[in-house]
Amino acid sequence: MENSAIEGAAKLIWDTWQANDRIGALPVACRPTSRQEGYDVQAAVARLSGQAIYGWKIAATSQAGQKHIGVDGPLAGRLLENRAYKSGASIPMGNNLMKVAEAEFAFRMARDLPPRAPAYTTKEVLDAVTSLHPAIEIPDSRYRDFSKAGAAQLIADNACASYFVLGPATTIDWRPHHLAEHPVSAWVNGKRARDGKGANVLGDPRFALTWIVNELSAVGETLRAGQVVTTGTCVMPVEIAPGDHVVAVFGVFGRAEARISP
């Protein structure tokens, strides 16, 4: 894509996001047709936002999630600083199209992992992690029918990123635990809504974290010290509405919660 097409696509996405509106698709003249082009547009959207990058998210880490947005593999997206909250915050519902919340393992990085030719191993990636957190993601899309947009356009649209809620860092030593089998539940208004486990995230949240490090490396991006990566939902997304109280419970690892405001 020419720079003018990248900037045109990014402006349309960002303007649509700011207006809390929807588009059918990006115009053909500035529509990305590959993952790399999608990431080029995504980076331009982040620049237009003027916000720091709080961290990264992974969309479609399960078969159900891939089916939900019409893709055949995971996608990486940026978490913008002004849309990241601490546990207990009130999150605006606005004109959210997806209307779901997701319970996710999140990791904060202790040091940079820059692009390189050899793939990073899971051990190398975990050695660069400083803390594990329970988290909630509330995704959204700027496309009216996001299930038909395709991977390149969804990546350009920040992989359906919207709001993110980070719980406190777990105080126990999480590294010896088998995260794949660790139970996770999502509660809405005091009622248990969904159950899942870490294996629903590319087989293990640690594998998902390794995936995104290598995905970013492949497109020339650095995962930086201090940034947070949320690795995808461990439960089927739970439906939410204004006024709801959502809690993601991770047992000994703690919990994250948020209230959904109009």
Q: Where in the chain are the domains?
A: 53-261
pTM for the model stands at 0.96
- The CATH H-level superfamily of 53-261 is Fumarylacetoacetase-like, C-terminal domain (3.90.850.10)
φ, ψ for residue 123, nearest 5 deg: -60, -45
pLDDT exceeds cutoff 90 at 158: yes
Q: What is the pLDDT of residue 115?
A: 98
The residues facing 84 across adjacent strands are 164
Q: What is the pLDDT of residue 118?
A: 98
Q: Are 63 and 231 in contact (CB under 8 A)?
A: no
Q: What is the pLDDT of residue 72?
A: 84
Give the C-alpha distances (Å, rounded to integers) separating 73 from 58, 172, 235, 238, 252: 10, 32, 17, 21, 30
**pLDDT one-digit tens code per residue, 56-71:** 999 988 777 888 788 8
Based on the number of CB atoms within 10 Å of its own CB, is 24 exposed (0-12), middle (13-18) or buried (19 or more)?
A: exposed
For the segment 150-166, the average pLDDT, to the nearest whole number, is 97
Q: 35-49 and 3-18 helices cross at what angle (nearest 10)?
A: 60
Instruction: Report d(CA 94, CA 131) in Å as an integer.
Output: 31
